[in-house]
Amino acid sequence: MLLSAAVSRRTLPLPSLSALSPSSASPSALSTRSSLRFSSHPRATHGSKASSLPRSPSAPAPAVALASLRSLTLVLRRPFSSSSTSSITMGAPATGRVDTADRVHALRKLMADANPSVDAYIIPSEDEYASEYPADADLRRGFISGFNGSAGCAVVTKDAAALFTDGRYFLQAEKQLDPKVWTLMQQGEPDVPTWQEYLYKVVPAKSKIGIDPTLISADDAHDITKELASVESTLIPIAENLVDKVWTTKPARPSNALIVLDKKYTGRSYEDKVSELREELKKKKFVGGLANMLDEVAWLFNLRGSDVPFNPVFFSFALVLLDRTILFIDPATITDEIRAHLGKDVEVEPLETFYDALKKESASLKNGEKVLIGKRASLAIQTALGGKSKAPTERSIIVDQKSIKNATELSGFRASHIRDGAALALYFAWLEEELSKGTKINEYEGSEKLLSFREKLAHFRGPSFTTISSTGPNGSVIHYSPPETGSPNIDPNDLYLCDSGGQYTDGTTDVTRTWHFETPSEEQKRAFTRVLQGHIAIDRAVFPRGTTGFLLDVLARRPLWGEGLDYRHGTGHGVGSFLNVHEGPMGIGTRAVFNDTPIKEGNVLSIEPGFYKDGAWGIRIENLAIVKEVNTPHNFGKKGYLGFERITMCPVQVKLIDAELLDDVEREWVRTYHAEVLEKVGKELRGLVSQQGIESDVKRAIGWLERECGAKI
């Protein structure tokens, strides 16, 4: 999956409901399903009434008894929503426009009635945890605008409504936004302001700009306040979210069961992680640190949940002081097993007490004592802790710790990608055969078939994002997702782009392949080859420690630039270990933020250049890779040098390559990669031959794999 190359900081789609069922302990065996399944209905709601801060589950419910991960599997999945007028699923298919005129009108009335009244209101994509993928109950920007891409920000004034998004979503936004109500602001294009600039360059001077203080970072709020002062405008925090008051059919926010992730998957105990965090806080002279992002909390405590689609996280905050650790969470999720895992050292407090607890902590701080909050922490959090003097923002220590995988996690990544490669071979072989027989397979059916193959594999927990299964013109919609009804049939005479991923107990996968099932055009082959050359250039790169992804990005684009071509997204993003498929702080791309953080040994990154011919087709080639130390003949500067170890195991279609454009090194790269894929995935598939119910699928996949990996180049 892709990160934006433009100003926007987020990306991507997802599913939500959870279930628990038995799984096999053998990495190569098929999992055994049973009828054991827990209800995925949320225990608590934030329905027609807006709640006080924070918006946390409050209704009690019986705790669910959990067995260990060896016998239960956490499934992260949700069906696509329709284009209903009451709800929008982030990243769901662009099935048409939603009438938002009445919603915007109602919002404007609330803006006028607010105390004080405001002239403009900001509706970000994120929730109060700064999540890239919010739960359905937090998709406020999607509700008010009708645009359900995962990245964007809406600004509504008395007489205008502007939706800001990046190049991945231009085509989708044009289809979904009502042009009578909304103006699409194409971020990253010449002369188009960011949403922040819009507030002081386009919105009239001396305006009052409203914002929910839980949904904007403290840093953004302070920066905007400074700029607004230049035009005598002000930023007005409004505690009760105005969109929530319009959204009378707002879905419930889930509070699902938790699981303990065993040390055999994490490589470290949570106690060790907390101890290291405290040592870092001491070095930086802080008396405490706050984990405000959901994946930070899940990683720190070796817990996983399913409150947010596609991401195995749960609604929570954590405050780690030098002598205390406090987890703010729905107490109903703390079963005996979870309590035993946390031990006596972790205090558990109800999530709804979070802001009051921060205020008490602020009052107890002695002169000069400070609590570290991350760059993404909200204005509401910083305010509750006493402002910038007591709660300055720095990059989260946990973000850096989490991004460097240990040996256990890296082993899990390798193993999960081999299994995932088997699922891909099963799917692409099946799809090719069905299309060759003239069977009509639509995009959605294809994505479901791929999911069914992944579900047969051990340790699979659910998709890591909504599968992009796109044929022909839909491939040019960079973050397209096929609708459940009305999906076009996959055209064997055109390009088929499939971007998908899985959550496994031992790793998270994300892979894109582009296929042509008949004869590609010369234009398609040339574009595909240039994309492949860019991919190979990053894969083979060797660079000194301290190098950033901003500097590497040009390697992927250079072959395309030579043709006068480019793509409107980043080249690579970090990936979590059975966590979020997008993980910072590092990445590869043209955004300035990618020049802030060097790529480090132990990072896991995607490499995914592409090209998209608007209205015609799309091409993308994506692998995940581990950053590793490289032995070089020399060591200039005594820095040490790094490179990549590719871990995605799926062939690249040789039929789409114009071999005359490749040099000898690039040809050898393809041969070597295909030999590795054939060996590792072939072995995995052969281990599945005897499994009941898929023998013919496995034999077909082995034949397909041997042919694709053995194709001459």
For residue range 156-197, list pLDDT tens digits in order.
Answer: 999 999 999 999 899 899 999 999 999 999 999 999 999 999
What percentage of the chain reaches a pLDDT higher than 90?
84
At 309-343, the pLDDT tens digits run: 999 999 999 999 999 999 999 999 999 999 999 99
Residue 22 and residue 66: Cα distance in Å, rounded?
A: 12
pLDDT single digits (tens) 545-590: 999 999 999 999 999 999 999 999 999 999 999 999 999 999 999 9
Domain annotation covers residue 209: no
Domain contains 459? yes
What is the mean pLDDT of the segment spanning 617-630?
99
Distance CA 97, CA 571 (A): 30
Asked if the model's pLDDT at residue 33 lies above 80, the reply is: no
Q: What is the CATH number of the domain that holds 527?
A: 3.90.230.10
Which residue(s) pair with 573 in the sheet?
587
Closest CA to 512 of 557, 464, 563: 464
Strands of 187-336 (E only): list them.
208-211, 234-237, 259-260, 288-291, 303-304, 316-321, 325-329
The DSSP output letter for 365 is P
462 located within any domain:
yes
Contact criterion met (CB below 8 Å) for 570 and 588: yes
The answer to whether position 461 is within a domain reads yes
Q: How many domains does the chain have?
A: 1
Those residues whose C-beta lies under 8 Å from the C-beta of residue 122, and which sit 6 or more positions away, are: 153, 154, 155, 195, 199, 209, 210, 211, 216
pLDDT band for position 519 (50/70/90)?
A: very high
Structure tokens at 581: 């498929």
Is 413 part of a structural domain of the chain? yes
What's the order of all strands across the beta sheet hosting 511-516? Answer: 468-471, 495-500, 511-516
Give pLDDT tens digits for 625-678.
999 999 999 999 999 999 999 999 999 999 999 999 999 999 999 999 999 999
- Whether 244 is in a domain gets the answer no
Q: Is the pTM of this model over 0.85?
A: yes
Q: Is the pLDDT of residue 95 over 70?
A: no
613 domain residue, yes or no? yes
Task: Give, in order, the Cα–Cα distances in Å from 290 to each of 316, 497, 584, 591.
Answer: 11, 40, 17, 27
d(CA 245, CA 53): 14
Query: What letter represents residue 692's amino acid?
Result: Q
Q: What is the predicted pLDDT for the residue at 440?
A: 99
Could you identify the residue written with the tokens 């590609």? 520
Q: Can you state the angle between helices 443-455 and 407-436, rounded to 10 degrees?
A: 130
| Residue 5 confidence (pLDDT) | 54
Q: Are 171 and 24 in contact (CB under 8 A)?
A: no
* CA 375/CA 399 separation, integer angstroms: 10
Residues 98, 99, 102, CA angle at the centre, nearest 5°? 140
Q: At what angle do helices 549-561 and 522-539 cross, to 10 degrees?
A: 150
Burial of 596 (0-12, 13-18, 19+ CB in 10 A): middle
Asked whether residue 564 is domain-assigned, the answer is yes
Place of tokens 């999540």: 131
Residue-level pLDDT at 409: 99
Task: Compute the residue count for the chain.
Answer: 713
Structure tokens at 202: 């386009």
pLDDT score recorded for residue 15: 29
Q: What is the span of the domain harbouring residue 571?
A: 407-710
